[in-house]
Amino acid sequence: MAPRPLGGPRPGSSGSGKPTRDQRQRPERPPAGRPVRRDGAGTGSPAGRPGGAGSRAGGPADPGGPADPGGPADPGGRRGRGGGDRRTADGRGGEAEVQRPRAPAEKRRAARPGSGPGSASAARTAKQARRRDQLDAARAAARPGPDRELIEGRRPVIEALRAGRPVDRVLVASGSAGSAGATLADLLALARARGVRVETVPRSVIDAEAQTGAHQGVMAVVAPIEPIGLDELLAVPLGTAEPPFFLALDGVEDPRNLGALARSADAAGCHGMIVPRHRSAPLSAVAVKSSAGALAHLPVAEVANLTRALDRLRESGVWCVGLDGEADAGLFDLDLATEPVCVVVGSEGAGLHRLVREACDVVVRIPMTGHVESLNASVAGALALFEVRRRRGGPAGRRPAPPGP
Rounded to an integer, what distance in angstroms lies between the CA atom of residue 99 and that of residue 310?
89
Compute the half-sphere exposure of residue 13: CA atoms within 13 Å on the CB side of its CA.
12
- Alpha carbons 125 and 117: distance in angstroms, whole number: 10
DSSP character string of 111-136: HSSS-STTSHHHHHHHHHHHHHHHHH
Under 8 Å CB-to-CB from 125, ≥6 apart: which residues?
none
pLDDT at 60 over 50: no
pLDDT of 216: 87
Average pLDDT of every residue of the chain: 77
Q: What is the DSSP track for 304-340?
A: S-HHHHHHHHHHTTPEEEEE-TT-SEEGGG---TTSS
- 322 and 270 both lie in a single domain: yes
The domain in which residue 381 lies consists of 230-392
The answer to whether residue 87 is domain-embedded is no
Boundary of a domain, candidates 199, 222, 245? 222
pLDDT classification of 118: cutoffs 50, 70, 90: low
Query: Are 264 and 345 in the same domain?
Result: yes
What would the pLDDT profile of 256-282 be if each residue is shown by its tens digit?
A: 999 999 999 999 999 999 999 988 999
**Spatial separation of the C-alpha atoms in residues 204 and 310, rounded to whole Å:** 46
pTM of the model: 0.65
Neighbours of 169 (CB within 10 A): 16
- Given a cut of 80, is residue 27 above it in pLDDT? no
How many structural domains comprise the chain? 2
Query: Quick check: is 234 in a domain?
Result: yes
**Alpha-carbon dihedral sign for residues 297, 293, 295, 349:** positive
Looking at the structure, tell me whether residues 327 and 297 fall in a common domain: yes
CATH number of the CATH domain containing 170: 3.30.1330.30
Domain boundary among 172, 201, 222: 222
Confidence of residue 197 (pLDDT cuts 50, 70, 90): very high
- Report, as an integer, the average pLDDT of 306-326: 94
Rounded to an integer, the average pLDDT of 312-338 is: 90
Asked whether the beta carbons of 329 and 323 are under 8 A apart, the reply is no
Residue 218 shares a structural domain with residue 250: no
How many helical (H) and strand (E) elements, i.e. helices and strands, does the chain have?
12, 11
Residues 238, 197, single domain; the answer is no
Rg (CA), the chain: 49
Read off the pLDDT of residues 338-352 as tens digits, 9 standing for 90 and up: 899 999 999 888 889
What is the average pLDDT across 373-377?
85
Check whether 71 has a pLDDT greater than 50: no
